[in-house]
Amino acid sequence: MKQRIGLVLEGGGVRGAYTAGALAWLQDHQIHFDYSVGISSGAAYLCCYLCNDEHTPKNMATIYAADPHLVGVYALFHCGYYVDYRKIFETYLLGKEHMSIAKIREEKPDMEIGAYDLNQGKTIYFGPEDLDDQLNVIRGACSLPVASEIVDWHGYRLLDGGITKMIPIERAIEKGCTKCLVITTKPADYVRPDSSKIVIWLMKHIYKECPQVAKDYKVRKENYYKQRKIIDDMIAQGNAVNILPSLDIKVSRWKGNHDNCVKLYDLGYQDMETRKEEVYALLQEDQDE
């Protein structure tokens, strides 16, 4: 029986430059998947990949994400939040890049992006028919809790899906994928810290109407390692390949200078090239079934 192969993308904020570079390699080699799912910045880059748009993600990863005015005091005074996602989406992606998801809506690939809905107190998934021209769903999927505004859209109140699903491997399995190419943005020796007590306290006060979100944030570390174990088990069984940074380039979730963002983007592309035989073997096994 034919295997169903999924593409699974972790988020990572500015570190998503690595994902953008890895996806550029997949585009250049015209590699596609039966199902794909992305979280946070991985959701935005996934949409660009499915639209065959290599120009927008490269600029987003190496130029716009490195804009110091998007994060910190300047953003706080400009938009009232620590991260100015409106500028990212409205000024850069829509204004300068004219980013469009029309191709996804027309071709309806089997894809989803995850976002946390405060009304339901859980991460939910949106498909091609849900995506809007103003990119509200994607912006909601990227909006970090506390640091950015809630995206109100069609009755949903959206934040970053990484609150519970940092690496959406479970969703790929739920959708019938038996093999997965997983692209993550942290090096192999990464150790996830406990959730910040200050952030948990802030979430309890900012999102009083949704007490579940603070509870979910509190156990992010446990959920992360649960998701990592699923991936590691699949790798051990020969059912997954995990592309992850081979070098530790100094780029954080929040900030990265232009040169390091370019290096991280290039590293994503190069790591795919270096490990292409593993990727092709994963795809070939599907054809041989």
Cβ neighbours, 10 Å, residue 208: 9
Task: Give dist(CA 94, CA 87) in Å, integer.
Answer: 10
Task: Give dist(CA 74, CA 84) in Å, integer.
Answer: 9
Strands 179-183 and 5-9: parallel
The catalytic position among 40, 41, 143, 148 is: 40
Task: Give dist(CA 98, CA 197) in Å, integer.
Answer: 39
Known active-site residue 160: yes
The catalytic position among 53, 160, 216, 271 is: 160
Question: Residue 105 burial by CB count (10 A; 0-12/13-18/19+): exposed, middle or buried?
Answer: middle
Six-digit token string for 189? 């020796």
Contact by Cβ (8 Å): 27, 51:
no
Known active-site residue 36: no
Maximal CA-CA distance, the chain = 57
Supply the residues annotated as catalytic.
40, 160
